[in-house]
Amino acid sequence: MHDTPRVYVTRQIPQAGMERLEEECDVFVWDEPTAPPRDRLVERVADLRVDGLFCNVADTVDEAVIDASPDLRSIATMSVGYDHIDLDAAAERDVAVGHTPGVLSETTADLGWALLMAAARRVVEADQQVHDGEWTAWGPTILLGRDVHDATLGVVGLGRIGTAFARRAAGFDMDVLYTHTSRNEAAEAELASYGIDAEHCTLTELLERVDFLSLQVPLLEETEGLIGEEELRLMDDEAVLVNTARGEVVDTDALDAALENDWIRHAALDVTDPEPLPPTHSLLRHAPEKLTVTPHIGSASIETRSEMAVMTATNLLAGLRDERPPHSALADAGYE
Ligand code: NAP
């Protein structure tokens, strides 16, 4: 343990978060644009003998990382999801773990809608045609998409982001269906105040009825591969799948088959399995007509990333003072 805590930050972060850390810590930063390879992360944590680790979704924080520094007592991830952190190992060693719930819900819901709208109205494809010099005339049958208004939206996981996402459907007069661990009456009441009568149903029923499907569940044992071949075959062949949750919630091979065989019309993904998606990955053989992919940018607005960085720093500093972080992943996951 150092008099001035030593903190390792696994990527360059917005200035406001860095300033917060520098007020109380010696800060060391991985300066590359890509994530530190796991061995390098273990090495840096060990060599610097850090007290705190400021990480993000692209870092696998497993037992080896947590054990690399005997002084490590606080981890904070600049994300709401914490599936990349071994919480069992952290809890056993009394290492605090912070995360960023709430602050990114609206921004991530915005991106989900950007994907939904782009897929429905073929925006990426259309733009590509214009850039390729293929805009030769207005055409009555060219680039016809699907109406979003009056369509049926299905949300899997009506939590913070799921509710923010569903709320936006009010502007499009959509029918909203959802599945959840159980009926979420608080979220239903919030949506009702926006004129949305959200209907709780089974996943099977939802898949059979939706025009647009939005996944908003955390990655858990129960949600890994939640959408596989059987589920994709239940969907309408004109339906659009939007995934801003985690790539592993969808079985990638099954999705590949779904696009190949036109079981669904389009998949719009902000998250993939694996991440990053290598340029040679078989999914990427599907043209923008069927597949839109963004590189995990759900929370990537200037305002939100800055707030996330400060929130992560605040969580990390609390852990370094042996206090429970204001947003504790261990508490939220039921460890405390
Ligand atoms: P949240 O408030 O915890 O919402 C998730 C909801 O899913 C919870 O209400 C949970 O119910 C429900 N759920 C769990 N298992 C389910 C299942 N099998 N079927 C249906 N519903 C289930 O979390 P959030 O803040 O909305 O974030 C959700 C996830 O989005 C994060 O975990 C993260 O993976 C992802 N995310 C992605 C980005 C991005 O950049 N693309 C950004 C932020 C978040 P209970 O409360 O009953 O457990």
Instruction: Note whether 208 and 177 are within 8 A (CB).
Output: no
Q: Please report which confidence band the pLDDT of residue 1 belongs to, taking 50, 70 and 90 as the band edges.
A: confident
Residue 272: CB within 6 Å of ligand 1? no
The closest alpha carbon to 27, from 13, 41, 39, belongs to: 13
Name the residue of 113, 216, 270 whose CB sits within 8 Å of the most ligand 1 atoms, as the mutation to test its pocket: 216
- What pLDDT does residue 140 have? 96
Q: Is the whole model's pTM more than 0.75, yes or no? A: yes
Q: What residues have CB less than 8 Å from 45, skipping those under 6 apart?
A: 8, 53, 65, 68, 69, 72
User: Active site residue: 246, 265, 266, 286, which one?
Assistant: 246
Instruction: Give the percent of the chain with pLDDT over 90.
Output: 99
H helices within 168-301, ranges in order? 185-192, 203-209, 229-234, 252-260
- What pLDDT does residue 43 have? 97
Mean pLDDT of 166-179: 98
pLDDT in tens, 289-309: 999 999 999 999 999 999 999
First and final C-alpha spacing in the chain: 24
> How buried is residue 15: exposed, middle or buried, by Cβ count under 10 Å (0-12/13-18/19+)?
exposed
CA dist 45 and 8 (Å) reads: 7
The full set of domains in the chain, from first to last, is 6-103+302-332 (3.40.50.720), 105-293 (3.40.50.720)
Residue 161: CB within 6 Å of ligand 1? yes
Q: Please report which confidence band the pLDDT of residue 100 belongs to, taking 50, 70 and 90 as the band edges.
A: very high
Residue 219: CB within 6 Å of ligand 1? yes
User: Active site residue: 122, 167, 296, 327, which one?
Assistant: 296
- What pLDDT does residue 194 have? 98
pLDDT in tens, 10-57: 999 999 999 999 999 999 999 998 999 999 999 999 999 999 999 999
Q: CA angle 151-156-157, nearest 5°?
A: 130
Beta sheet of 26-29, edge-to-edge order: 26-29, 6-9, 52-55, 74-77, 96-98
CA dist 52 and 92 (Å) reads: 17
Residue 218: CB within 6 Å of ligand 1? yes
pLDDT in tens, 105-128: 999 999 999 999 999 999 999 999
Q: Which stretches of the chain are assigned E, i.e. beta strand?
A: 6-9, 26-29, 52-55, 74-77, 96-98, 152-156, 175-179, 199-200, 212-215, 240-243, 266-269, 291-293
pLDDT in tens, 237-285: 999 999 999 999 999 999 999 999 999 999 999 999 999 999 999 999 9
The answer to whether residue 185 scores a pLDDT higher than 90 is yes
Minimum-distance ligand 1 atom for the alpha carbon of 332: 3
Calculate how far, in angstroms, residue 222's C-alpha sits from the geometric centre of ligand 1: 12
Let me know if 233 is a catalytic residue: no
The chain-wide mean pLDDT, for the chain, equals 97
Let me know if 275 is a catalytic residue: yes
Minimum-distance ligand 1 atom for the alpha carbon of 217: 7
Let me know if 246 is a catalytic residue: yes
Residue 228: CB within 6 Å of ligand 1? no
Mean pLDDT of 131-160: 97
Q: DSSP letter at 250? A: B
- Return the amino acid letter for 89: A
Q: DSSP letter at 9? A: E
Taking CA atoms only, the protein residue closest to ligand 1 atom 6 is 159
- What pLDDT does residue 315 have? 98
- What pLDDT does residue 2 have? 84
- Please say whether the dihedral angle defined by the alpha carbons of residues 252, 254, 257 and 259, taken in this order, is positive or negative: negative
Calculate how far, in angstroms, residue 144's C-alpha sits from the geometric centre of ligand 1: 33
Q: Which residue has the tokens 């606080």?
A: 74
CA dist 41 and 30 (Å) reads: 9
Q: Please report which confidence band the pLDDT of residue 336 belongs to, taking 50, 70 and 90 as the band edges.
A: confident
